[in-house]
Structure 1
Amino acid sequence: MRLQGKVALVTGAAHRVGKVIALMLAQEGADIVVHYGASADAAQKTAREIEALGRRALLHQADMADWNQAAELGRRALAHFGKVDILINSASSFVPNDYFSTTEADFDKAFDVNVKGPFVLSQVIARAMMDDTGEGVRGNIINIVDEGAFFPWREYVAHGISKAALLALTRAQALNFGPKVRVNAICPGPILKPPDYTEEQWQALRKTNPLRALGTAEQVGEIVLFLLTGPQFINGDCIMLDGGRMWQHQ
């Protein structure tokens, strides 16, 4: 129970990667703030699974594209548990659009959810972490980016640009939140099939990957735990989880 006594806030914890991370943190002893956007039933299921592990769970709905709602999520988490030791920015907008079909609404949604939300939430949480009078690092923030941060996707233009901005935000946070708070990012490659992918498209990624494999959400969780419990000198970094796929784009 490496995280016994810790409190973690996980955005987008109702399903997919966010849920897996939340459950893995709970298995290690952390109490969890389960954020969700519209998936109330799925979020309640996640909370029940956390409580079945003997941990406390706080459910909170918030539109991460809304500045005030994102800030209120942080304030409520702090008021309820008295602290937040770990913040995982996992909630994401993933809407397909090519360059010329992207509308202002598409562009704004990508940046509001993927950049503004984590920015505002981290403002609230990091301030509390930095106010902690204890010695050493008092908090950890981990942002989930993806391959779009490193190379452009024709079908997800606004999304990719926003994830590149989230990676830049990670580095700015690491610079501004030290020495009390460490901030890092994780960049998963093909780990969960996108909703608009066919099974044939998904398996094609396996065949062309240098490892001839696909990743898993649990592996993302393993990297989260490594960043939280491993070497405490890692800061402002981004760990790739893609089987070497990135080098196919060089």
Structure 2
Amino acid sequence: MEKLQNKVALVTGASRGIGAAIAKRFAREGASVALTYQTSKDKAEQVAQEIRQLGGKAIALRADGADPQAVISAVDKTVQEFGGLHILVNNAGIAFYHDISQLTLEDFDHMMAVNVRAVFAASQAAIKYLGDGGRIINIGSCQAERMPDPGGSLYAMSKSALVGLTKGMARDLGSRGITVNVIHPGPIDTDMNPASGPTSAYQRSLMALSDFGTANDIAALATYLAGPESAYMTGSGLTIDGGTNS
């Protein structure tokens, strides 16, 4: 049976990479899917069209993660389009690496706005609609647990903040039957971090499995967290990094 039959999901930052893989996997499991994008409208519409061609329901919504009102509006539009909301995946995020001495307050504010504040805003908007069995899934990073590279202080901080936010929301929402978990991907072969990129050899040297993961690996874990088998799991961080942090 399709694990997400008759469910409605919103996946942020789903025009490509991990977000797109999650949106497609959810649709294959029976969910109606709304996906957001910031600038890549054509790519987002292509993902939605692929879902519709397979018989699913999908819409693409523009929402800049730096604008909390746009994120909140995306939640409301999802409900207006599909009549409800059962699953929120906070995937949209940014990453940039600079030595701490070179970073600015504007860099700090932007990183936290997109990687943390947007998650808070979307989740707070979503809980008005989520009922018993609702799911919030945040996409973090294995670098929340270990930062092996110079220049990653802000990124690591923002993803570490998601851990605290996830645990706090899990406590707040547990009595309502809503679970909240965070996935920590490691090196995943995407446009942003290709397996053939200039740092790929270094990244492989950190792994136990010596190869990059795929966006579908993350989508499979997200589907588990969105489905009935994970009903007793909340406040958890699940690392899927090929042993990078082992």
TM range (shorter): over 0.9
Identify which of 176, 179, 183 aligns with 2:180. Answer: 183
C-alpha separation in 1, matches of 2:206 and 2:22:
27
Aligned to 1:62: 63
Counterpart residue type for residue 184 of structure 2: C
CA distance in 1 between partners of 2:40 and 2:10 (Å)? 17
Q: Which amino acid aligns with 2:105?
A: E
Q: Residues of 2 paired with 1:121 and 1:192: CA distance? A: 27
Name the structure 1 match of 2:140. Answer: 145
Using the TM superposition, give the Cα deviation of residue 186 of structure 1 relative to its aligned residue in structure 2, in angstroms: 0.5
1:123-138 equivalences in 2 (<5 Å): 123-129=124-130, 132=131, 137-138=132-133
1:201 paired residue among 185, 199, 202: 199
Per the TM alignment, residue 193 of structure 1 is displaced from its structure 2 partner at its CA by 5.3
Amino acid at match of 2:152: Y
Counterparts in 2 of 1:40-189, with a 5 A limit?
Answer: 40-129=41-130, 132=131, 137-152=132-147, 153-179=149-175, 180-189=177-186
- Aligned-partner Cα distance in 1 for 2:145–2:243: 13
User: Contact 1:207–1:213 at 8 Å: present in 2 too?
Assistant: no
- Give the structure 2 partner of residue 220 of structure 1: 218
Q: How many Å apart are 1:235 and its aligned residue?
A: 0.5
For 1:74 and 1:214, the matched residues in 2 are separated by 32
More divergent stretch after superposition (147-156 vs 108-117): 147-156
Q: Distance in 2 between matches of 1:72 and 1:188?
A: 28
Equivalent AA in structure 1 for residue 26 of structure 2: L
Q: Which residue of 2 aligns with 1:13?
A: 14
Which structure is higher in RCO with an 8 Å CA cutoff and minimum separation 6? 2
- Cα distance, 1:104–1:196 mapped onto 2, change above 3 Å: farther
* Letter of the structure 2 residue corresponding to residue 69 of structure 1: A
Identity %, equivalent residues: 33
What amino acid maps onto 1:219 in structure 2?
A: D
**What per-residue deviation string (whole Å, max 9, x for no partner) do you get for residues 122-174 of structure 1?**
00111221xx4xxxx33101000002211234222211111111111111110
**Cα distance in 1, alignment partners of residues 197 and 223 from structure 2:** 30
For the aligned residue pairs, the C-alpha RMSD in angstroms reads 1.7
Corresponding residue pairs, total = 241
1:179-199 deviation per Cα after TM superposition (whole angstroms, max 9, x unaligned): 321000100011125747763
Is the CA contact 1:62–1:73 (under 8 Å) kept in the aligned structure 2? yes
Q: Distance in 1 between matches of 2:191 and 2:7?
A: 32
Q: Secondary structure at the match of 2:13?
A: coil
| Greater mean alpha carbon deviation, residues 76-85 or residues 181-190 | 76-85
The alignment's TM-score, normalised by the length of structure 1, stands at 0.91
Q: Aligned equivalents of 1:48 and 1:194: distance in 2?
A: 20
1:184–1:237 contact (8 Å) kept in structure 2: yes
Q: Which stretch shifts more, 92-101 or 17-26? A: 92-101
Alignment TM-score, normalising by the size of structure 2: 0.92
Identify unmatched segments of 5+ residues in structure 1: none
